[in-house]
């Protein structure tokens, strides 16, 4: 039986608890120029998204139909205006905020639930088979299909997308966590802790979980990029953010109608999505390299 | 800059397209290729109300009477003359004697009686049976005289009979094909005959060789093109590119943003129909919280800048509505239109304050704990989204929140039949003021198409009079009254009268936009191909 489902876990072996992993990790990470740039972009994007209300030149919903479809470079509109005459800079800032929030929420929610399932499966071997078959079932559904089904039941909205992406993240995370937790479970210190009469919950929280964190982080970072891409696709299909809320995928979808006449409305949000996904993927790769003890020199 | 870029992009796609396989062949000789965005599910005049059915039906079949370019004058069709009894209940049509079906069979009064009776037969389940009036009996008096008897007068009847639902069909053909009537074949008396249909791709028609009975609105009563191909190209930019590169000849499905550019291109001729009756409006469910308050509805009407909204959604391709009905339509009341509040956000705010709606902490007004917030349903498309978002922004400026929920066309009609929304956006074709308003404001038409839940005795009585009045004047007075009532109650926010454009390639001559039921080519006569 293949214990380890996803690729990230196959590469990243869990770090034994005895080894100090904090010092030097960040330095190892930024030693690679590509990783340093990726990290800088991620930090910048997050900062910009957090500060959107202060950075945006106009309110998120302020429109002026008389400047609709203005091209980038128009006076007062550096990146132009969209079909409703809203400043593209404002829309992008708030769109970035919504998109990143969607990604964070999905990865957090799906990741936490998935990790709990993974720990439970590794710790309580009796329910392992049942849990993993459930995860297999979830794995067999494409995320887009989930999104469509959930939107049909709950109606479209950003929470619909978060739910769909979380559900799609759970089985992947569960498999990775279970794989690394099973390795840690065989370590002597777990036996020792158990011998002291520690409760299951404490054992998982204090000894098992901390030692499975690194593959989990790597996966979460890589998954973040995928989630942004999937979420944008669902938004593009009209299942996500509803007007007048800005969201990058939805902005691309709006701009599609004007592709020949005002290409900037669709192209700029797409470029931003591209940047986010690329930055997170590079960062994920770098994290994996930095955290892998076998690559340590 | 913007315009040059658009034109350049259009030209670029046109240049790139011929290489792309599917449409590689240029339009064949003596064949008119009409491009459209969507196919119909069948070509039975009684089983589909889609415009895409009408486009083909008007070419394959004829109606007793036809409609002139002014959208007001009824002209002869299969009937060369008609008379109406004094009580307005019996219409007698005298038919042309030279009409034959595509298979050569002579068309007689029995065919007319069969067609109308099939239309109104409850077993046919035509969604637009009401358009035929309250029919008592339609009978063939002799081979070329038809008596159309109603239970009550219906002043709109002749207009309704110009619509493709009243097409004359062949009983033997219907019975022979059964459920496949209009799917595997169709035997009509129209200028073009059914040749073949590949659903969602193309439908081919061939010239009806003996056809000489076209409506008098055309210069030449016979078709002059050997074949007509109705080809479906769903993507609008691809469709335009196909037109420019000569792979298609005519289309009325032009993205609004492209109209102005297309009009400037020397290789494309664009005609328009000033009397086109297809309107976009925004309706309130008058019995739902928040929007049941007349002050909210009136303030909303004053908050919305129709002109700016129309320009944002349609560019140059529509006119803002200044009343509930197009001034070109029969029965339009200028007096009622004068009651529609103009754009005045300041007055809207004042009205809301006076009505007790006070601004809340988030800028949205509140009255007795109720937030001035309501939902909008509509069909998901670019125009609806543009209109809805622009109106949403205008309403927010006076402290009213509108939540937009647009649905995919496959589920939208079901959603729009429920009571779960407070307002909706809709567009529709009509032939006269009475036709349009009776559809939406008759209390008996709740919950759909009367999605406003408007049920008012005075309106219902005036509508009855507008439909049943014996003189045009009487009918006009009554429908004017309806327009006054619904305008004063602010049941809608009228948005825009869409324009109709017909774009044709260089080799096409004589193409002119008509627009009956939204169909630009109508009978497809007077069209010639130069190469």
Q: Which SS3 state, helix, strand or coil, does residue B469 take?
A: coil
Residue A152's pLDDT band (boundaries 50, 70, 90)?
Answer: confident
Residues of chain B found within 8 Å of residue A83, distances taken between Cβ atoms: 312, 386
Dihedral of alpha carbons A267, A272, A276, A279, sign? positive
Q: Quick one: average pLDDT of B3-26?
A: 50
Tell me: pLDDT of B198 over 90: yes
Q: Which residues contact B97 (CB under 8 A, 6 or more apart)?
A: B144
Most confident of A21-25, A144-148, B106-110: B106-110
A1 pLDDT more than 50: no
Q: In this predicted structure, what is the pLDDT of residue B2?
A: 47
* Residue A290 pLDDT greater than 90, yes or no: no
Q: Which of B48, B24, B130, B148 is nearest to B93 (CA)?
A: B148
Mean pLDDT, rounded, for A42-71: 93
Q: Is B255 in Cβ contact with A257 (below 8 Å)?
A: yes
Give B23's pLDDT tier (boundaries 50, 70, 90): very low
B408/A238 CB distance under 8 A: yes
**Interchain CB distance below 8 Å, A260 and B406:** no
The answer to whether B36 and B52 have CB atoms below 8 angstroms apart is yes
Count CB atoms within 10 A of the CB of residue B121.
13
Q: Does the distance separating the beta carbons of B406 and A84 come in below 8 Å?
A: no
Q: What is the DSSP letter of A69?
A: T
For chains A and B, CB pairs below 8 A equal: 67
Considering CB atoms only, which of A71, A259, A263 is closest to B1?
Answer: A71
> DSSP string spanning B327-344?
TTSTT--HHHHTTS--S-
Joined together, the tokens standing for residue A141 give: 């559904």
Return the minimum-mean-pLDDT range out of A237-246, B64-73, B133-142: A237-246
Of A257, A261, A262, the CB nearest to B382: A257
- Check CB contact under 8 Å for B257 and A238: no
pLDDT of residue A2: 42
DSSP-assigned letters across all residues of A87-129? BHHHHHHHHHHHHHHHHHHHHHHHHHHHHHHHHHHHH-GGGHH
All structural domains of chain B, each given as residue ranges with its CATH number in brackets, are 278-498 (3.10.105.10)
Confidence category of residue A154, pLDDT binned at 50, 70, 90: confident
**pLDDT interval class at A163 (50, 70, 90):** very high
CA of A131 vs chain B CAs: smallest distance (Å): 36
CA distance B7 to chain A (A): 8
CA B159 vs CA A50, B100, B133, B248, B405: distances in Å: 61, 24, 11, 32, 35
* Architecture, CATH, for domain A2-11+23-295: Orthogonal Bundle (1.10)
Q: A68: which chain B residues are within 8 Å (Cβ-Cβ)?
A: 311-312
Query: Are the C-beta atoms of A15 and A21 separated by less than 8 Å?
Result: yes
DSSP string covering A133-169 = HHHHHHHTS-HHHHHHHHHHHH-SSHHHHHHHHHHHH
Contacts 24+ apart (CB under 8 A), B293-298: B293/B355, B293/B367, B294/B489, B294/B490, B295/B351, B295/B352, B295/B354, B295/B355, B295/B357, B296/B352, B296/B355, B296/B357, B296/B372, B296/B400, B297/B489, B297/B490, B297/B491, B298/B341, B298/B348, B298/B351, B298/B490
Interval A30-46 mean pLDDT: 91
8 Å CB contact of A71 and B380: no
**Does the pLDDT of residue A91 top 80, yes or no?**
yes
pLDDT at residue B1, rounded to an integer: 43
Under 8 Å between Cβ of B455 and B417: no
- The DSSP secondary structure of B423-434, one letter per residue, reads EEEEEEE-SSHH
Percent of chain A with pLDDT over 70: 90
CA distance B213 to B80: 10
Give the integer Cα–Cα distance in Å for B367 and B353: 10
**Which residue did the predictor score with more confidence, B149 or A245?**
B149
Average pLDDT rounded to a whole number, residues B265-284: 94
Say if CB B89 and CB B149 are below 8 A apart. Answer: yes
CA–CA dist A277, A230 (Å, integer): 11
Which chain A residue's Cα is nearest to B255? A257
**Is A61 in Cβ contact with B386 (below 8 Å)?**
no
Degrees, nearest 5: CA angle A24-A27-A33: 150
In this predicted structure, what is the pLDDT of residue A58? 92
Task: Please indicate whether, in this complex, the C-beta atoms of B6 and A260 are within 8 angstroms of each other.
Answer: yes
Q: What is the pLDDT averaged over residues A101-113?
A: 96
Each residue's pLDDT tens digit, B316-352? 999 999 999 999 999 999 999 999 999 999 999 999 9
Contacts with A65 from chain B: Cβ below 8 Å:
305, 308-309, 311-312, 390
Q: Measured between CB atoms, does A43 come within 8 Å of chain B? A: no
Task: Please give the span between the terminal C-alpha atoms of chain A, in angstroms, as a whole number.
Answer: 33
Alpha-carbon Rg of chain A, whole angstroms?
A: 22
**Taking residues A251-265, what's their average pLDDT?**
88
Which of A65, A74, A263 to probe by mutation at the B interface, max B CB count within 10 Å? A65
pLDDT at position B28? 79
B235/chain A closest Cα distance in angstroms: 10
User: How far is the alpha carbon of A155 from chain B, nearest alpha carbon, in Å?
Assistant: 9
pLDDT at B18: 43
Model confidence over B475-486: pLDDT tens digits? Answer: 999 999 999 999
Q: What's the pLDDT score for residue B19?
A: 41
The domain segmentation of chain A, as residue ranges, is: 2-11+23-295
Q: How confident is the model at residue A210 (pLDDT cuts 50, 70, 90)?
A: confident
- Asked if the Cβ–Cβ distance from A244 to B9 is below 8 Å, we say no
Tallying the residues shown for chain A, one arrives at: 297
What residues 206-245 of chain A have any CB closer than 8 A to a CB of chain B?
Answer: 238, 242-244
* Rounded to 5°, angle at Cα A241 from A240 and A242: 110
Compute the average pLDDT of residues B9-15. 52
Nearest CA in chain A to B304: A65
- Report residue A18's pLDDT band, with 50, 70 and 90 as the boundaries: low
Q: What is the mean pLDDT of residues A36-61?
A: 94
Question: What was the pLDDT predicted at B216?
Answer: 97
The model's confidence at residue B16, banded by pLDDT at 50, 70 and 90, is very low
pLDDT of residue B127: 87
Q: What is the pLDDT of residues B353-380, one digit of tens each?
A: 999 999 999 999 999 999 999 999 999 8
Going by pLDDT thresholds of 50, 70 and 90, the confidence category of residue B529 is: very high
Residue A269 in this model has a pLDDT that exceeds 70 = yes
Residue B55, beta-bridge partner list: none
| pTM, rounded to two decimals | 0.84
**pLDDT tens digits along B24-52:** 456 678 999 999 999 998 999 999 889 99
Cβ within 8 Å, pair A260-B9: yes
Contact flag A242-B5 (C-beta cutoff 8 Å): no
Q: What is the pLDDT of residue B448?
A: 83
Predicted confidence band of residue B465 (pLDDT cuts 50, 70, 90):
very high
CB atoms B6 and A63 under 8 Å: no
- DSSP E strands in B37-190: the ranges are 65-67, 74-76, 79-84, 90-95, 135-142, 145-150
Q: What is chain B's mean pLDDT, rounded?
A: 92
Phi and psi at residue A230, in whole multiples of 5°? -65, -45
Q: Report pLDDT for B166.
A: 97
Reading the block at residue A190, the tokens are 């777990």
Q: Could you give the percent of chain B with pLDDT greater than 90?
A: 85
């Amino acid at each position: 039986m293949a214990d380890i489902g996803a690729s990230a876990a196959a590469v990243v072996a869990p770090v034994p608890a005895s080894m100090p992993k904090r010092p030097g990790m960040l330095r190892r990470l930024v030693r690679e120029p590509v990783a340093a740039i990726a990290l800088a972009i991620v930090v910048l994007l997050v900062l910009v998204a957090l500060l959107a209300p202060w950075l945006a030149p106009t309110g998120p919903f302020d429109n002026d139909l008389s400047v609709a479809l203005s091209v980038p470079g128009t006076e007062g509109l550096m990146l132009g205006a969209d079909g409703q005459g809203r400043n593209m800079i404002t829309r992008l800032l708030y769109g970035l905020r919504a998109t990143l929030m969607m990604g964070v929420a999905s990865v957090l929610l799906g990741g936490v639930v998935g990790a709990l399932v993974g720990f439970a499966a590794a710790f309580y071997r009796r329910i392992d088979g049942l849990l993993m078959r459930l995860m297999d079932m979830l794995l067999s559904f494409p995320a887009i299909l989930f999104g469509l089904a959930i939107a049909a039941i709950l109606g479209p909205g950003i929470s619909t997308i978060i739910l769909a992406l979380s559900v799609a993240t759970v089985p992947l995370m569960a498999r990775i966590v279970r794989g690394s937790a099973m390795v840690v479970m065989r370590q002597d210190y777990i036996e020792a802790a158990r011998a002291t009469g520690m409760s299951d919950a404490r054992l998982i929280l204090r000894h098992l979980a901390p030692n499975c964190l690194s593959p989990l982080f790597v996966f979460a970072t890589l998954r973040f990029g995928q989630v942004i891409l999937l979420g944008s696709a669902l938004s593009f299909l009209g299942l996500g953010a509803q007007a007048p809320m800005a969201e990058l995928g939805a902005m691309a979808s709006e701009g599609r109608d004007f592709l020949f006449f005002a290409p900037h409305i669709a192209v700029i949000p797409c470029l931003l999505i591209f940047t986010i996904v690329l930055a997170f993927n590079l960062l994920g790769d770098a994290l994996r390299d930095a955290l892998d003890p076998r690559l340590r020199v | 800059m913007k315009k040059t870029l658009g034109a350049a992009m259009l030209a670029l796609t046109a240049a790139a397209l011929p290489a792309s396989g599917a449409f590689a062949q240029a339009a064949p000789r003596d064949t008119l290729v009409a491009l459209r965005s969507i196919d119909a599910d069948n070509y039975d005049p009684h089983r589909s109300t889609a415009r895409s059915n009408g486009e083909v039906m008007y070419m394959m079949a004829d109606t007793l009477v036809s409609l002139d370019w002014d959208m007001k004058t009824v002209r002869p069709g299969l009937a060369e003359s008609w008379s109406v009894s004094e009580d307005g209940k019996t219409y007698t049509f005298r038919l042309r004697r030279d009409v034959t079906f595509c298979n050569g069979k002579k068309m007689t009064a029995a065919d007319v009686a069969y067609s109308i009776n099939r239309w109104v037969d409850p077993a046919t389940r035509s969604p637009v049976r009401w358009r035929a009036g309250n029919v008592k009996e339609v009978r063939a008096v002799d081979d070329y005289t038809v008596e159309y008897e109603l239970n009550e007068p219906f002043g709109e009847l002749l207009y309704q009979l110009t619509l493709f639902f009243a097409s004359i069909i062949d009983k033997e053909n219907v019975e022979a094909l059964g459920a496949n009537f209009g799917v595997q074949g169709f035997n009509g008396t129209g200028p073009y005959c059914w040749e073949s249909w590949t659903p969602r791709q193309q439908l081919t028609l061939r010239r009806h060789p003996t056809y000489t009975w076209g409506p008098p609105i055309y210069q030449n009563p016979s078709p002059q093109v050997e074949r007509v191909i109705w080809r479906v190209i769903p993507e609008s930019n691809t469709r335009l590119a196909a037109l420019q590169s000569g792979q298609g000849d005519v289309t009325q499905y032009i993205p609004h943003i492209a109209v102005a550019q297309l009009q400037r291109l020397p290789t494309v001729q664009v005609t328009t129909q000033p009397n086109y009756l297809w309107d976009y409006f925004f309706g309130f469910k008058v019995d739902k919280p928040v929007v049941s308050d007349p002050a909210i509805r009136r303030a909303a009407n004053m908050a919305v800048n129709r002109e700016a909204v129309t320009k944002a959604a349609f560019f140059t391709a529509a006119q803002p509505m200044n009343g509930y009905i197009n001034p070109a339509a029969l029965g339009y009341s200028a007096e009622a239109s004068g009651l529609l509040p103009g754009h005045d956000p300041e007055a809207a705010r004042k009205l809301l304050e006076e009505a007790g709606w006070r601004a809340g902490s988030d800028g949205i007004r509140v009255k007795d704990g109720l937030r001035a917030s309501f939902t909008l349903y509509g069909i998901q498309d670019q125009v609806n989204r543009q209109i809805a978002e622009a109106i949403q922004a205008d309403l927010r400026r006076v402290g009213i929140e509108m939540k937009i929920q647009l649905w995919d066309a496959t589920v939208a009609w079901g959603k729009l039949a429920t009571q779960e929304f407070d307002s909706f956006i809709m567009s529709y074709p009509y032939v006269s003021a009475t036709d349009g308003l009776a559809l939406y404001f008759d209390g008996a038409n709740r919950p759909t198409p009367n999605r406003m839940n408007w049920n008012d005795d005075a309106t219902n009585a005036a509508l009855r009079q507008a439909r049943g009045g014996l003189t045009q004047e009487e009918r006009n007075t009554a429908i004017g009254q309806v327009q006054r009532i619904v305008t004063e109650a602010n049941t809608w926010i009228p948005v825009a009268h869409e324009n109709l454009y017909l774009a044709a390639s260089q080799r096409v001559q004589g193409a002119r936009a008509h627009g009956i039921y939204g169909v630009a080519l109508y009978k497809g006569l007077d069209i010639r191909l130069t190469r």
